[in-house]
């Protein structure tokens, strides 16, 4: 396979080359893609100064990413399976789509989108369960140059409306509902509620999945099957500029509303394919499975774009790891003879708790590579994954990256880079991480700890935040001029291996999902009885981090007090979705604030961790007494 590194010596050689001459390094990789017009220049960028960041890869190149998935692979792979879809209910039949079949469906739906007036540059919001049509819809958007904005189907109507409005999407694509385990989620009715607040939406396309009864708005709603009924399979891909926007994906930060991370066509494409084949060491004929939801960046890059660009067979799973039983993952591995398996530490920890027999009763001998993503993996979970799932023979790739990076950045190459539990190990060739101290000075050498930044662009990086370029600069480039700030702290050990420590900002990583504390506070504050709140993360055995909310309320009757926790949770559910629901809520009479009114989260974090002995300096607090009260009422196991 082209551009695949196959030995440690080659890795070090390529790494050196990529730093010495990044343009040449990336130019060679991009040669293997199909371009309508070659680029004039590999990279033109600035991280600082007027208009920054301004990052342009493959300048003036023209292409379409779907031509690189379909036309480029068609000769070899027309009859090879591209997507295997495993339904929520194991009794329902699976679906296998070859590259040829998937291509027809993408072109047909692309024509459908055109028919309802979607044009190049328009935004299309996708609010769908994990069904093949989600991949079809995103590729159809890319085919015609429309920008997809996928909203995870676990988000609430308010969260969906916020995202649709920010992107001013013209069309939303949803389904009557979605199955997850024993639950059926009424997606259409949630989308209906959202769309009432979305003046930009002209059409709502509805896929039939659960046969749930739904409401219908004539003139706005159209069934997916009706839309494609008389569409043919002829569709010429739109010519896209290398820097035309491919998609927007919303993610949380430490302040304000979620921001729309913008990825563009050529750089993202080159990076998704390069990282996929190298990290997982994918070989022709392998069956690869990433358990993520396409609503997150992992699904974008490593269920759809990376694997399909590579010409891989990619498994897509609609359900949950614990239904009908805790052996579901391993049953699927056996069923499709999965070779590369990629999941999240939170899923592994949840399965560890269910007992080993769910794993041992399935034949997992097809597995060659195991991967993790989304949060640090603790050593115990790593060992279980390595010893029990991988039988000690499968390398684990602990892949560190972010929505903003577009693809994997720091990771072992499977079977090539020697691994150590809980370490993401080394940067991929083309990636230049640095650790900075608080003054922004680069920490040289090994055995150092600091703020993880990048000192050179890579093709998959974000270009802006939708509708607010200044916010992109402020968030990622202003703190340390000339560097991209990841928001994570990291250690470089004595060998030069990276260990990711976690977020250094007010972002909580709950089950590998990024939740901004400010966002949760805003949601809690919507409850009429709430005066103020402060949210922090605390260590949680399964989720990695749980959400701990300290809340000040108005005077309440006993009956109101009895219900307040449940009501606050319901409020968060309504404004964000179940993933942001606080695990612990403590009603307090005050919050530890400095004289200037800033909440001292450090203290709240310590209390939430159950470590109130060492709170540091509290002398600057406005009312030190409040700390005692909070400690006394803290919801921690002692």
Chain contacts with ligand WT7 (rule: CB under 6 A): 251, 297-298, 373-376, 398-403, 424, 486-488, 500, 502-503, 509, 512, 514
Under 8 Å between Cβ of 582 and 570: no
Q: For the CA atoms of 612, 614, 618, 619, what is the dihedral angle to 10 degrees?
A: 130
Residues forming beta bridges with residue 97, ordered by sequence position: 83
Q: In terms of CB distance, is 206 or 462 closer to ligand WT7?
A: 462
What number of residues does the chain have? 638
Q: Give all strands (DSSP E) within 165-286, no chain letters.
A: 171-175, 178-180, 183-185, 203-207, 221-223, 240-241, 245-251, 259-264
Q: In terms of CB distance, is 112 or 376 closer to ligand WT7?
A: 376
Q: In terms of CB distance, is 167 or 249 closer to ligand WT7?
A: 249
Q: In terms of CB distance, is 489 or 590 closer to ligand WT7?
A: 489
End-to-end CA distance of the chain: 55
Closest approach of ligand WT7 to the CB of residue 251, in Å: 5
User: Nearest Cα to 453, choosing from 472, 473, 437?
Assistant: 437
Q: What are phi and psi of 144, to 5 degrees?
A: -100, 5
Closest approach of ligand WT7 to the CB of residue 400, in Å: 4
Q: In terms of CB distance, is 129 or 412 closer to ligand WT7?
A: 412
Q: How far is CA 414 from CA 128, 287, 371, in A?
A: 32, 15, 9
Q: What radius of gyration, in Å, describes the C-alpha atoms of the chain?
A: 24
DSSP string, 580-627: G--SEEEEES---BBTTS-B-HHHHHHHHHT--S-----TTBS-THHH
Closest approach of ligand WT7 to the CB of residue 206, in Å: 28
Closest approach of ligand WT7 to the CB of residue 99, in Å: 26
User: Nearest Cα to 34, choosing from 235, 233, 234, 242?
Assistant: 242
Q: For the CA atoms of 120, 126, 129, 130, what is the dihedral angle to 10 degrees?
A: 30
Closest approach of ligand WT7 to the CB of residue 48, in Å: 22
Q: In terms of CB distance, is 112 or 253 closer to ligand WT7?
A: 253
User: Nearest Cα to 307, choosing from 321, 318, 292?
Assistant: 292
Closest approach of ligand WT7 to the CB of residue 418, in Å: 17
Q: In terms of CB distance, is 512 or 592 closer to ligand WT7?
A: 512
Those residues whose C-beta lies under 8 Å from the C-beta of residue 304, and which sit 6 or more positions away, are 135, 138, 139, 294, 314
Q: For the CA atoms of 211, 213, 217, 223, what is the dihedral angle to 10 degrees?
A: 10
Separation CA 562–CA 556 (nearest Å): 10
Q: In terms of CB distance, is 177 or 376 closer to ligand WT7?
A: 376
Separation CA 519–CA 428 (nearest Å): 33
Residue facing ligand WT7 at closest CB distance: 403
Q: In terms of CB distance, is 424 or 535 closer to ligand WT7?
A: 424
Those residues whose C-beta lies under 8 Å from the C-beta of residue 154, and which sit 6 or more positions away, are 185, 293, 295, 577, 578, 579
Element (H, E) at 159: helix 157-167
Under 8 Å between Cβ of 363 and 334: yes
Separation CA 444–CA 585 (nearest Å): 43
Closest approach of ligand WT7 to the CB of residue 437, in Å: 19
Residues forming beta bridges with residue 185, ordered by sequence position: 178
Q: In terms of CB distance, is 401 or 480 closer to ligand WT7?
A: 401
Q: For the CA atoms of 153, 154, 160, 166, what is the dihedral angle to 10 degrees?
A: -90
Q: In terms of CB distance, is 403 or 571 closer to ligand WT7?
A: 403
Closest approach of ligand WT7 to the CB of residue 509, in Å: 5
Q: In terms of CB distance, is 487 or 546 closer to ligand WT7?
A: 487
Q: In terms of CB distance, is 465 or 509 closer to ligand WT7?
A: 509
Under 8 Å between Cβ of 258 and 247: no
Closest approach of ligand WT7 to the CB of residue 250, in Å: 10
């Amino acid at each position: 396979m082209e551009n695949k590194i196959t030995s440690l010596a080659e890795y070090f050689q390529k790494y050196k080359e990529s730093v010495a001459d990044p343009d040449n390094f990336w130019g060679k990789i991009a040669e293997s893609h199909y371009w309508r017009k070659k680029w004039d220049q590999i990279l033109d960028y600035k991280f600082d100064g007027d208009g920054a960041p301004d990052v342009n890869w493959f300048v003036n190149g023209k292409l379409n990413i779907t031509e690189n998935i379909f036309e480029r692979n068609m000769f070899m792979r027309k009859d090879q399976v591209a997507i295997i879809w495993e339904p929520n209910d194991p009794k329902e039949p699976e679906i296998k789509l070859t590259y040829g079949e998937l291509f027809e469906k993408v072109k047909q739906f692309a024509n459908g989108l055109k028919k309802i007036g979607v044009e190049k540059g328009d935004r299309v919001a996708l609010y769908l369960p994990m069904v093949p049509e989600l991949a079809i819809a995103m590729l159809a958007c890319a085919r015609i140059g429309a920008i997809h904005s996928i909203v995870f189907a676990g988000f609430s109507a308010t969260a969906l409306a916020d995202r649709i409005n920010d992107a001013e999407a013209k069309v939303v694509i949803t389904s009557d509902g979605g199955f997850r385990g024993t639950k059926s989620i009424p997606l259409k009715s949630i989308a209906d509620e959202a769309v009432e607040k979305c003046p930009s939406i002209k059409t709502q396309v509805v896929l039939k999945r659960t046969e749930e009864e739904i409401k219908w708005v004539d003139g706005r709603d159209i069934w997916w099957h009706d839309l494609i009924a008389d569409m043919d399979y002829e569709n010429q891909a739109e010519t896209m500029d290398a820097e035309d926007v491919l998609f927007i994906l919303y993610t949380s930060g430490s302040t304000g509303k979620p921001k729309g991370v913008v990825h563009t066509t050529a750089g993202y494409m080159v990076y998704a394919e390069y990282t996929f084949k190298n990290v997982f060491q994918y070989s022709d004929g392998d069956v690869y499975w990433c358990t993520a939801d396409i609503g997150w960046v992992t699904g974008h890059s490593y269920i759809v774009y990376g694997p399909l660009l590579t010409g891989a067979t990619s498994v897509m799973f609609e359900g949950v790891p614990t239904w009908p039983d805790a052996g579901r993952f391993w049953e699927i591995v056996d069923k499709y003879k999965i070779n590369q398996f990629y999941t999240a530490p939170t899923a592994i920890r949840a399965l560890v708790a269910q007992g080993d027999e769910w794993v041992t009763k399935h034949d997992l001998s097809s597995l060659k590579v195991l991967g993790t993503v989304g949060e640090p993996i603790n050593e115990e979970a790593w060992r279980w994954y390595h010893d029990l799932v991988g039988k000690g023979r499968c390398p684990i790739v602990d892949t560190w990256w972010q929505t903003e990076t577009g693809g994997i950045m720091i990771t072992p190459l499977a079977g090539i880079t020697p691994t150590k539990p809980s370490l993401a190990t080394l940067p991929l060739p083309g990636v230049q991480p640095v650790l900075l101290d608080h003054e922004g000075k680069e920490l040289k050498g090994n055995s150092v700890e600091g703020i993880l930044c990048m000192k050179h662009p890579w093709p998959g990086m974000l270009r802006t935040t939708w509708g607010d370029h200044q916010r992109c600069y402020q968030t990622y480039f202003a703190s340390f001029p000339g560097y991209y700030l990841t928001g994570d702290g990291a250690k470089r050990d004595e060998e030069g291996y990276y260990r990711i420590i976690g977020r250094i900002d007010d972002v909580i990583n709950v089950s590998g999902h990024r939740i901004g504390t400010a966002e949760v506070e805003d949601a809690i504050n919507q409850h009429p009885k709430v005066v103020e709140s402060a949210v922090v993360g605390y260590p949680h055995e399964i989720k990695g981090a749980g959400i701990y909310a300290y809340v000040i309320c108005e005077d309440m009757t006993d009956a109101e007090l009895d219900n307040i926790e449940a009501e606050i949770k319901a409020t968060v559910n309504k404004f964000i979705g179940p993933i942001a629901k606080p695990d612990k809520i403590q009603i307090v009479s005050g919050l530890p604030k400095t004289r200037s009114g800033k909440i001292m989260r450090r203290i709240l974090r310590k209390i939430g961790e159950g470590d109130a002995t060492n709170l540091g300096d509290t002398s600057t607090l406005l009312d030190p007494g409040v700390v005692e009260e909070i400690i006394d009422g803290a919801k921690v196991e002692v």
